[in-house]
Amino acid sequence: MADQPDQVHHDSPPVAGSGGEQPRRAPGLLIGRIRGVPVYLSPLALVFAVIICWLLIGPNRDRLPDVADDRLYLLAAITATGFVASLVVHELGHCLAALGFGLGVRAVTVHGFAGFTEISPEPQTPIREFLVAGAGPAMNGLLAGLGFAALTVVDSGTQPGVVIIDLTVTNVAFCVLNLAPGLPLDGGRLVVAAVWGITKNKLRGIQVGAYGGFVVAGLLALWSLFAPGSDFGGVYLLGISAFIGIGAYQLLRQAQLRMRLPGVSAGRLARRTLPVEGAVPLAAALAQARKLGASAVAVVDSVGAPIKIMNGSAVDALPEHRRPWMTVDEVSRGLEPGMVLAAELEGEDLLAAVRSTPASEYLVTQDGRPVGVLAMVDLVARIDPASAARSAAGK
C-alpha cells in the first residue's frame, strides 16, 4: 500500500488492498464500474492469466486422463479466468468497504500479481483502517467457503470439481498470504490499525507494519529458494518477496518523511520576496533582490497585486550574459488558484496542497496579503534533507 496524505493504496501480492492522484491515462482495460468506480484490468493481468492457463494443462491432464486436450484447455482457461476474477473480488472488497465509510475511491486496478484500490482520503480512524484493509481477504475467504460448500455436492474427480478445487485453493492462498503481518500486504494494514489504536499514532503503526513487511519478504524469499515445488512457483514467490520488500521500504521512508511535517508551515518557509513589474530587466531585478536580502521575485500589476512568480529553475538555466536582455515577466509563471497558499497552512495539509498543484514556487498570503514565496526546494530540504542533498550534488 502506497501511503500518501490524501489517499491510500493497499497493494497486496498476489492480491491487494487500497490506495491515487492526478488524472492520468486509463491503466488498462475497463471491465466495468462498481457504484461509479471504474475497474480496470492491466495488460499484465491478461498475460498472467495466459501463464496460469498454460501451467494448468499438465496437472489437468494428470487428474483427468480420459479428457480430450481441447477440453483440458477450456478447463484451464476457466480456472485462469477465475484466478483473475478472485483478484478483482478482493479489490472490490476494499472498494465497497471504503465507499461504505463515505471515502472516495478513484479507481480499482488489477494486475497479475497485485491490485490497487485508490482511496481518498485515508480512513480517519483505526477501526476504519482495520475494516477497509480486512475486507479484501474476507472476500477471498468467502469465495473459498463457497468453494468448500460446492465440493460437498460436486465430485472432486469430475471436470467441474477440478476447477472448483483449484479456485478454492487459490482463494485460501490469497486470504492467508494477504493476512501476513507486513506492509504493503493487507495484514500489514491490520498491524497499522492495531498500533495506531494503541499508540494514537498512525505513523508509528506504519513503521511497525513496514518492518513486518521486511520480515515477511525475507521469509518468502527463503521459502522460494528452498521449498519444493515448480520453478514457476519459486520465481513467483521470489517476485512477491521483492514486491513486498520494496513496498515496505517505500512506506517506511514515507512515514519517516511525514514525521517531519508537524510544525512545517508555508509561512515559516516563505522566502522574502521582491515585488517588481514584469517589464523590469531580469538582471536588474536580481541585483535589487540581492541588495534587499530577498531570494524570490514576484511580478505585480500597476496597483501592486501579485500576478506571477519568477520561476527559479528557469532563471538558473538562463546564461548570465542573457539576463540583462530578458524581462522578469519572461521567466515567470502565472498564478493558478492552487499556487496561492495561506501562511498558516502546515503539515499534511501543506503537502497535500503542493501535490494538488505541482510548481516550483508558490505565493504565500496572510489575511489575503502576500507575505512571501514558498520555493518547493525549501520544502523538500526541510522534510527530506538527504533527497535535497542528492539533487544539489547532481546539478
| Secondary structure, 3-state, 342-361 | ECCCEHHHHHHHHHHCCCCE
* DSSP SS3 for 42: coil
pLDDT, position 390:
65
Amino acid identity, residue 20?
G
Indicate the domain borders of the chain. 8-258, 266-394
Both ends of the chain: CA-CA distance in Å? 32
Q: What is the pLDDT of residues 296-322, one digit of tens each?
A: 999 988 888 889 998 888 888 888 889
- Give me the pLDDT at residue 14, please: 44
**Alpha-carbon span 313 to 243, nearest angstrom:** 35
Q: What is the largest CA-CA distance in the chain?
A: 91
Given a contact cutoff of 8 angstroms between Cβ atoms, the answer to whether 114 and 13 are in contact is: yes
Residue 269 CA, chain-centre distance (Å), reads 27
- Chain CA centroid to CA 199, Å: 25
Reading the block at residue 52, the C-alpha cell is 496460469
| pLDDT (mean) for 367-392 | 80
For the chain, the helix, strand and coil percentages under 3-state DSSP, each to the nearest 5: 55, 15, 25
Pairing state of beta strands 306-310 and 332-334? antiparallel
Grid look-up 492467508 returns 176
List C-alpha distances in Å: 132 to 24, 283, 285. 25, 56, 54
Q: Is the pLDDT of residue 16 over 80?
A: no
Mean pLDDT of all residues in the chain? 87
Considering the four listed CATH numbers 3.30.565.60, 3.60.20.10, 3.40.50.1820, 3.10.580.10, the one that applies to the domain covering 266-394 is 3.10.580.10
pLDDT bin (cut points 50, 70, 90) of residue 348 is confident
In whole angstroms, give the CA distance from residue 18 to residue 186: 9
Q: Answer for the pair 353, 244: CB distance below 8 angstroms, yes or no.
A: no
pLDDT bucket at 126, cuts 50 / 70 / 90:
very high
Give me the long-range contacts of 95-100 (CB less than 8 A, separation at least 24): 95/18, 95/34, 95/35, 95/37, 96/34, 96/35, 96/135, 97/131, 97/132, 97/135, 98/18, 98/123, 98/132, 99/35, 99/37
Give per-residue burial for 277-290: e unless 16+ CB within 10 Å, then b. Answer: ebebebbebbeebe
Quick one: angle between helices 202-226 and 186-199, nearest 10?
150
Looking at residue 240, its pLDDT comes to 87
pLDDT value of residue 20: 36
Which among 103, 94, 66, 60 has a CA at the least distance from the CA of 79? Answer: 60
100 has pLDDT over 80:
yes
